[in-house]
Amino acid sequence: MAATVTLEPAGRCSWDEPVRVVVRGLDPGQRVTLRASLRDEKDALFRAHAQYCADACGELDLTRAPALGGSFTGLEPMGLLWALESEEPHARLVKRDVQTPYAVELEVLDGHEPEAGRLLGRTVHERHFLSPGVRREPVRAGRVRAALFLPPGAGPFPGIIDLFGSGGGLCEYRASLLAGHGFAVLALAYFRFEDLPENMNEIHLEYFEEAVGFMLQHPKVKGPSVGLLGFSKGGDLCLSMASFLKGITATVLINACVANTIGALHYKDMIIPDLGSDLKKHTITESGLLDFMDIWNNPLEEPYHQSLIPLEKAQGPFLFIVGMDDRSWRSEFYAHIASERLQAHGKDRPQIICYPGTGHCIDPPYFPPSRASVHAVLGLPIFYGGEPKAHSRAQIDAWQQIQTFFHKHLNGKKSVKPSKM
């Protein structure tokens, strides 16, 4: 082959780490097309491509060379990853088995697509979800069904419980990556997994209390408290946990509601009703996707006020991460309700970070932004919002902000090492 594709750093790389892609051995000013592809565990193919010109020395460095066309344009060193799209409509790239890497094939072709010609060079780049030394322990403790990720070393480590949303099951990819940054992270399932309930008609907070107890009793977890990380429905569950349970110091919410949603929440002799929704209020996008942002009732109005979570009872600080183009619900509105309620009760104002052009599904860095996908429970294509380039930048920053927040409030550190790209 005429060209060589090199990656820096070479060798093993975590999914949330940037890499520098350099192509050498080209002609000065040569027009080439770079293609990236990977297959997920269901054998779905995801692809991206971009057009470039080599420099005067016949080298192409993606940290310096802007893409001239293709799946993205401009200076985007990691664009070939975050721009990956499935050949199947509305498929979302997630990692189901974190114990295996994703193999990304990178190819260099002569010319610019669709006239791209012969293959000039290729390489396979493995991106891992378990950093060296990180251990995964399946958890079946009492009623708790989860996976615990522990960093290398003797510990103990600051502990975090990680909750996903209304798709159910056990999602481990965020927890596994976060463990690579020094946290003991429990990816917690709460429905549609093993012997857990199949739906969320009723949710009992005692289950989550048991998970907190498991973490605080674990010899590798640094007490006397843990942090919470919740996305979507998992966010309002984390708010409820912080409000009613002991042993919680810091809570991060990613596009979460400030009211209890989808099913009634039970704890001891207390019930918080579901906020409720009116599915007739949904809209349909030009491409035929369901937009659910307007279906939810307003928790500030009667009779929906009873669904508000009394987060003023919580002991620790909050970080709200908000996609300003979230089409699943009004995340920015809910974050400001939380801020006003906390201040009205003499509590500190929460940290709220709003990301323009960013939709509902805010993942770790370099995951392709999910603007729409088929919902795991509803079985229908849902529109999540977001503009790919802005959303991908938000994911990088939000990942740093989450680590900084937890290191500060669980570990006493002031900052984390920023990403180089």
CA distance 255 to 402: 13
Q: Which two tokens stand for residue 376?
A: 């795991």
Over the range 188-205, which residues count as b (16 or more CB within 10 Å of their CB) and which as e? bbbbbbeebbeebeebbb
CA distance 293 to 309: 20
Residue 178 host element (H or E) = helix 173-179
Query: If DSSP codes are grouped into helix, strand and coil, which group holds residue 55?
Result: coil
Q: Nearest Cα to 60, choosing from 12, 18, 20, 112?
A: 20
Instruction: Supply the residues annotated as catalytic.
Output: 232, 326, 360
CA distance 305 to 157: 39
CA distance 155 to 389: 38
CA distance 45 to 36: 11
Distances (CA, A) of 358 to 45, 85, 181, 332: 25, 17, 25, 12
DSSP state at residue 180: T
Residue type, 128: H
CA dihedral 292, 295, 300, 306 (to 10 degrees): -110
Query: If DSSP codes are grouped into helix, strand and coil, which group holds residue 258?
Result: coil
DSSP state at residue 92: -
Residue whose entry in the numeric block shows the structure tokens 């976060």: 178
Q: Nearest Cα to 257, choosing from 160, 331, 190?
A: 331
Q: Nearest Cα to 252, choosing from 335, 346, 365?
A: 335
